[in-house]
A and B are shown apart, each in its own frame.
Chain A
């Protein structure tokens, strides 16, 4: 079962930063936080992942709280193409660990 809680929907103005929260209060010490997004009718797209430290790549930044019980995905300058369902996933990420479960995600709508 999914181990994360996300708001069902959010709006963001085009050009502004989109901050998507995720609660994972039961995360264990060796579980990673992964973020994916799914644009309508496409397969999920990997965005970013992290264990303890904040991470940044060309798509987004991931901020993980010190106690690791929550995280925030930041899209620094949202565009209309960022409209999608965003999934926060907690995953052990070890061979033989098959608990990669998707929750209900956050539907982000970027408004012109």
Chain B
């Protein structure tokens, strides 16, 4: 199984600032995803982090707001840009090697004031 570490685990940020969340996997994986989970809701897929190329974003999410990097097979970052209170959520990284299971990090809980 893969172990996924996310940093920070939680943060409180001011409106208009940006925060970068890091995701580190302890083994090489073929797929990495970023999700958002708003309070009391299910997980919503933000994008697929592609190694060495631009991420693939889902409807409603854009690169200017959520830039993603994936420089190698074990690491990815998600930036939440120009934050507003509506961005307060848990952001989750998942990773794995198909067709086996995906593993999830414990999430980064973001509060925007």
Contact = CB atoms under 8 A, between A and B. Distances in A.
Contact of A105 (B4, B42, B99, B107): B42
Nearest to B30: A95
B87 interface: no
A86 to B, nearest CB: 11
A31 B87 CA distance: 32
SS class of chain B's interface: helix, strand, loop or mixed?
strand
Contacts, number: 50
A105 to B, nearest CB: 6
Interface in A63-87: 85, 87
B42 A104 contact: yes
Interface centre among A85, A94, A100, A104 (most CB of B within 10 A): A100
Interface in B97-113: 98-99, 101-107
Contacts of A103: 42
Interface in A41-55: 42-46, 49
Given A43-B106, A95-B30, A102 B98 contact: no
B43 A102 contact: yes
A43 B42 CA distance: 12
Nearest to A32: B99
A32 B99 CA distance: 9
21 contacts: A34-B101, A43-B4, A43-B104, A43-B107, A44-B43, A44-B104, A46-B101, A46-B102, A46-B103, A49-B101, A87-B42, A95-B31, A95-B98, A97-B98, A98-B45, A98-B48, A100-B94, A100-B102, A102-B42, A102-B43, A103-B42
B56 interface: yes
Contacts of B99: 32, 93-94
Contacts of A105: 42
